[in-house]
């Protein structure tokens, strides 16, 4: 077991998965028509721009935590949603936040990754786990973007090319 663990570069794998899910999500976002980007698909469903504001907020929060900073990112999610009515701005900021998180993952010390921070949901959590959750949080919301596409009649899997 220890031989395997010593051979795995957890930072590189996590940053690689971050890049993959970011690219998949951007492909799906780009497939959402402009006239559907800012509207709810019904009930209490959030708009796609609001979903992406959630993603970017979490990316920024996690980047701050990896840098050892207190973060107020969740205080600005509504501001991002308002800014993200422009899909081009939203995609550019999402790509930048993802890149910045990847850099923070690579730069974080073992001590930082093994430390514990209070998660936004109020639970003390290892920082490496928070980074992993942040990366997979993108994929979770990409599923919601896929569902928006399905609700408007688009059944293509856009992230597959």
Domain boundaries, the chain: 9-160
Residue 17: closest CA among 122, 150, 131: 131
Q: Which residue carries 């730069």 as its tokens? A: 107
Q: Residue 1 has what pLDDT?
A: 43
Does domain 9-160 fall into CATH 1.20.120.450?
Answer: yes
* pLDDT-flagged residues of the chain (< 70): 1-6, 161
Extract the tokens encoding 19: 């890049």
E strands, 2-123, in order: 116-118
Helix axes 10-30, 87-107, angle to 10 degrees: 180
Q: Residue 5 has what pLDDT?
A: 54
């Amino acid at each position: 077991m220890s031989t395997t663990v010593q051979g795995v570069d957890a930072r590189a794998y996590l940053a690689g998965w971050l890049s993959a899910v970011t690219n998949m999500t951007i492909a799906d976002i780009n497939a959402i028509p402009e006239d559907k980007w800012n509207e709810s698909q019904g009930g209490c469903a959030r708009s796609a721009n609001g979903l992406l504001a959630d993603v970017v907020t979490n990316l920024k929060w996690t980047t701050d935590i990896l840098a050892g900073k207190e973060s107020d990112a969740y205080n600005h999610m509504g501001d991002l949603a308002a800014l993200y009515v422009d899909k081009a701005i939203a995609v550019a900021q999402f790509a930048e936040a993802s890149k910045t998180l990847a850099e923070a993952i690579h730069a974080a010390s073992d001590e930082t990754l093994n430390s514990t921070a209070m998660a936004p949901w109020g639970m003390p959590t290892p920082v490496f786990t928070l980074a992993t959750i942040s990366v997979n949080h993108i994929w979770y919301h990409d599923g919601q973007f896929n569902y928006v596409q399905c609700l408007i009649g688009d059944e293509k899997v856009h992230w597959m090319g």
